[in-house]
Structure 1
Amino acid sequence: MFIKKHFAQRLLFKLTPMRLSVIAACLIAGLGNPALGAEGRESVREHVEVVAVGDRLEMRLADGRVVVMPTLEPQRASAAEPERDKAVAAQVLALVQGKTLTLQPLGAADRWGRVPARLFLPDAEDSVDELLLAAGLAMRAAVAAPESARRAEDAAREAGVGLWADPAFHALAPNRPQDFSGREGALALVEGQVGSIGRTRTRIYLNFGGWGGFYASVAQRNWPAFERAGFSETSLRNRKLRLRGIVDLDRAPHMELFHPEQIEFMDEPPRAAAQPSDPKF
């Protein structure tokens, strides 16, 4: 099922006209993967209402519970938009407030009582997190994610919409260590070619430059998961990769890779990006 035109018009009226016109366009076009949305609904047991959205995109429900969407990385400010996190939270609240959403739990509550879940608007097949990714209002976290979420972010990044229009979110080049300054502890994309691979008793290292240059590492205890996903030292050597992870600046710019989803090959044919469809009523 696709978004009805009158729903998108009401949404556009409520939201601020700048970047939020993008999300309305995505909703009208039905961007995303309807099949995944329908599949998700089959396992859902309840309907909920959202009364507040925090700066980290956590959603407080009318019954007091707090829901987080683990696919999303919370927004962060940039020089171009120092209030981006608050602005996006307000935009998301405008999207969901006053509507009965369908909730699909993804696991038990964490130690802070937050419930990981996917949420669906009443007239949307795509989940809320996918809609936000497609509009460039959020970045995909460094976790395993549905293919539809990956395609949604890919389409937004390639189109340069939302946060992807801001240079602060562009992929970093491993041969420019100066560009990593100020990124400590932040999620980032790094794109470049693996120059060499090293191994110690506890870690495997993907080196993208010389001494002091950017590198990524995988703990030996986590390496079997990468092998099961088809990665090997041979398959990674000299390949052009896109890495997604938290930047660490201790001694040299680097990031730790915990699971295979953090690695994408850039020298392979790209996945088919999500394409807009004509609205159906």
Structure 2
Amino acid sequence: MAVATVVLAMPMSPAAACEDLVDGPKGVVASVTDGDTVVLDNGLVIRLIGTQAPKLALGREDFAEWPKADAAKVALEALVLGQPVRVRHGGERIDRHGRTLGQLFVTGATEAWVQQQMIAAGWARVYSFPDNRACVTQLLAVETQARLDKLGIWADPYYLVRRADRPDDFAGRQGYYELVEGRVLLAEKAQGRVYLNFGRSWKSDFTAVIDKAALGLFSKGGLDPLKLEGALIRIRGWVDENDGPRVEITHPEQIEVLRAP
């Protein structure tokens, strides 16, 4: 059963963008903090939900700035700085830092869906949350094309899609956000979780773990992750180390089915 479908697409007009969003605040972009955060002239800090741009240090000590972070900020500035915009919500509206969350649309003479444009140009990756899952299908489509065309960040090996059947490639990548592709060798449920195993050694091979709360979201969508056994999939998430490298799946949009079993 397909959890998410990848469709190659050209950037769409704002009028054809994700539907069922709720209008939120508007203003003029006064400054750009980084490739996925802007500040409006009314003081609101807007986090471009659904995207993850390369991270700048922004004064944090001992923080290793991600490659192409400056270029991503410049790209966002070119798109929105000084422009009138509106935020539209499709999930949680405020994060724990007090930032406004939503899809951002330029509403001036040249209209643009900002997240879609940044991803299509290769300056951000799709990055969703259990409580903010709107528009992911459309954003995945343009991310796929940007990656195939090696645009922006996709020309840098730092953002390489990792292979699940090469666990040694994850050495030193704990705490990193990664895209990982591989064929699920075994899907099994134990202690309320589903484990997607990509190798025969559960002590050392790469694994994706779907927790109990996430299984509820799968069920609501009529999706059964146990049916992913034998499927070629791409997952995205933060890598940790627990009996080999693994990624925790908190919602279905972290999984794209590339080839069904």
TM-score normalised by L of structure 2 = 0.80
1:145 shift after superposition: 4.0
Structure 1, residues 95-128: CA drift from partner, whole Å, max 9, x if none? 2112222332444322321001222222455410
Partner residue, 1:202: 192
CA RMSD between the two structures? 2.5
Secondary structure at the residue paired with 2:93?
Answer: coil
Task: Kindly provide the amino acid, as one letter, of the partner of residue 36 in structure 1.
Answer: A
Moved over 3 A (4+): 33-41, 43-47, 105-108, 123-126
Aligned length: 235
Task: Please say if 1:32 is aligned against 2:32.
Answer: no
Which stretch of the first structure deviates more once superposed, 48-57 or 165-174?
A: 48-57
Instruction: Tell me the alpha carbon deviations over residues 69-117 of structure 1, each in whole angstroms, 9 at most, x when there is no partner.
Output: 111113148xxx9552233113312321122223324443223210012
2:53–2:123 Cα contact (<8 Å) kept: no
**Cα distance change of structure 1 residues 125 and 172 upon mapping to structure 2, 3 Å threshold:** same
- Partner-residue secondary structure (3-state), 2:162: coil
Relative to structure 1, the CA distance from residue 232 to residue 46 in structure 2 (aligned partners, 3 Å threshold; closer, same or farther) is closer
Q: CA–CA distance in 1 between the matches of 2:186 and 2:19?
A: 42
Asked which structure has the greater CA Rg, the reply is 1
Question: What corresponds to 1:244 in structure 2?
Answer: 236
Partner of 2:105: 120
**2:27 equivalent to 1:48:** yes
The correspondence of residues 257-276 of structure 1 with structure 2, limited to 5 A, is 257-267=249-259
Aligned residue identity for 2:165: N
| Contact 1:72/1:129 (<8 A) preserved | yes
User: Does the CA contact (< 8 Å) of 2:54 and 2:67 recur in 1?
Assistant: no
Please name the residue that 2:138 is paired with. Answer: 148
Equivalences for 1:81-92 in 2 at 5 Å?
84-92=68-76
Letter in structure 2 aligned against 1:216:
A
TM-score with structure 1 setting the length: 0.75
Contact 1:118 1:128 in 2 (8 A): yes
Indicate the SS of the match to 2:241.
Answer: coil
Deviation at 1:132, TM superposition (A): 0.2
Aligned to 2:224: 232
Q: What residue number does 1:278 align with?
A: none
What CA deviation, in whole Å up to 9, does each residue of 1:175-230 have, x standing for no partner? 11121123222221111111112322232111001221000111234313213334
What code does the residue aligned with 2:124 have?
A: A
The answer on whether the counterparts of 1:203 and 1:218 sit within 8 Å (CA) in structure 2 is: yes
Q: Distance in 2 between matches of 1:120 and 1:232?
A: 35
Partner AA of 2:49 in structure 1: P
Structure 1 residue aligned with 2:50:
71
CA contact (8 A) 2:35 2:75 kept: no
Amino acid corresponding to residue 70 of structure 1 in structure 2: I
1:33 deviates by 4.6
Partner Cα separation in structure 1 for residue 46 and residue 240 of structure 2: 29
CA contact (8 A) 1:36 1:126 kept: no
Q: Which moved more, 1:139-148 or 1:208-217?
A: 139-148
Which residue identity lines up with residue 138 of structure 1 in the other structure? Answer: A
**CA positional deviation for 1:135:** 0.3
Distance 1:34 1:64, change over 3 A: closer
Q: Secondary structure at the match of 1:227?
A: helix
> Which residue does 1:111 correspond to in 2?
96
Q: Please tell me the residue identity of whatever aligns with 1:130.
A: Q
Match of 1:222 among 197, 214, 218: 214
Identity of aligned residues (%): 31
| Distance apart, 1:138 and its partner CA | 0.4
Contiguous gaps of at least 5 residues in structure 2? 1-9, 57-64
